[in-house]
Amino acid sequence: MRALTPAEVLFDGEAPPTILPACDHYAGSEKLMLKSFALQQELGPVFDITLDCEDGAQVGRETEHAELVASFPGSEHDRFGRVGVRIHDFHHPHWRDDVRLILRAAKRAPAFITLPKIRSVPDAAEMVAFIEATRRELGIAQPVPVQLLIETHGALARVFELAALPGVEALSFGLMDFVSAHDGAIPDTAMRSPGQFDHPLVRRAKLEIAAACHAYGKVPSHNVSTEVRDMNVVANDAARARNEFGYTRMWSIHPAQIPAIVSAFAPRDDEIATAAEILLAAQAAQWGPTRHRDTLHDRASYRYYWSVLRRARSTGRAAPAEAAPLFGDNAGSAPRAASGPREGQD
């Protein structure tokens, strides 16, 4: 009898929640884009690259910038297929042109499309539907995942509905715009550390976004750290985002931040070894209850330890060789296509 993998038995027939690379690195100019691709080829697919049409494009030159962005997905620079794009927001006249031009001109569809400044569920749903209709019209075989940027009052108020939208794989927190939207009621110290983790309104926003994502099996992506010199600050920001707020991904705006972020989100060696031991014992027991070092485990804890191994793989950390049968052929990384809250997994 073939040994069943965690992905086959622990999620009630559904795919496990989505896991994406721990770092999402933004690049707006051609020079920075090329540097980002070079670093990705050096480090491997442990971080994504987002090519920015929103803030990267000069006013009046949106088409030329979108053409530049479209030249990268599927090119010789895109070795791993982990390059996404951020288009203009719903109220900008060029956002539909961004979608059409990039999906038509790129040699391969981007790994994802990020939608900024979402203000309402209908706006987001219209943009998602347009992307889906355009990829079908152009004969692109697979849907293009969408990531939403939560940085307005309207988006935060409907964050659970936004997380539930089909086609959405991640929600990102836009700290700077969120603070600015309060018209001075939140001090500027909340735009950087440690204030960004201490102000009650900012904490509430971060927690609501993370909770919504985990309810629907989507990826919560933390805002940038503005520190570009002291990487200990960046690493601490990433660790707090992960351990205190439940984020599994974080933005980067400087190449030096990437290794610090990836390392902070990676499980420790002892966590990986423990997870492998527990899951291999569970697999041998046909996923019934087991005992490990005087602690009892069942499917609830198995799901946790499976997430440890999946995060290890996504951050480039090696799992023990004997753990290979746990991954099977699909590496346990299939996205979850959820339409309702996740139930029955406690």
Helix (H) or strand (E) holding 169: strand 168-173
- Overall average pLDDT of the 91-103 stretch: 97
| Boundary (domain end) residue, out of 218, 239, 265 | 265
Same domain for 252 and 157: yes
For residue 139, the model assigns a pLDDT of 97
For residue 341, the model assigns a pLDDT of 56
Same domain for 278 and 137: no
Same domain for 284 and 260: no
pTM over 0.85: yes
As a dihedral over the C-alpha atoms of residue 221, residue 226, residue 230, residue 231, rounded to 10 degrees, the angle is 10
For residue 125, what are the domain limits?
23-265
Same domain for 301 and 177: no
Question: The CATH number of the domain where 50 resides is what?
Answer: 3.20.20.60
- Residue 189 located in a structural domain: yes
CA dist 282 and 300 (Å) reads: 12
| Boundary (domain end) residue, out of 245, 265, 285 | 265
- Residue 335 located in a structural domain: no
Which 8-state DSSP code applies to residue 12? T
pLDDT averaged over every residue in the chain: 93
Same domain for 290 and 190: no
DSSP string, 83-123: EEEE---TTSTTHHHHHHHHHHH-SS--S-EEE-S---HHH
Same domain for 211 and 278: no
- Residue 247 located in a structural domain: yes
pLDDT single digits (tens) 156-171: 999 999 999 999 999 9
Same domain for 175 and 41: yes
Which carries the bigger pLDDT value, residue 287 or residue 15?
287
- Residue 151 located in a structural domain: yes
| Boundary (domain end) residue, out of 236, 265, 294 | 265
Q: How many CB atoms lie under 10 A from the CB of residue 42?
A: 7
For the chain, what is the domain count? 2
Which carries the bigger pLDDT value, residue 231 or residue 318?
231
Quick check: 334 pLDDT over 70?
no
Q: Are strands 290-292 and 249-252 parallel, antiparallel or unpaired?
A: unpaired
For residue 1, the model assigns a pLDDT of 64
Same domain for 125 and 99: yes
Same domain for 82 and 195: yes
Burial class (CB in 10 A: 0-12, 13-18, 19+), 25: buried
For residue 2, the model assigns a pLDDT of 77
Q: How confident is the model at residue 251 (pLDDT cuts 50, 70, 90)?
A: very high
pLDDT single digits (tens) 278-303: 999 999 999 999 999 999 999 999 99
CA dist 56 and 64 (Å) reads: 11
CA dist 19 and 171 (Å) reads: 13
- Residue 33 located in a structural domain: yes
Question: What is the number of H-type helices and E-type strands within the chain?
Answer: 15, 10
For residue 328, the model assigns a pLDDT of 78
Same domain for 200 and 109: yes
CA dist 199 and 185 (Å) reads: 11
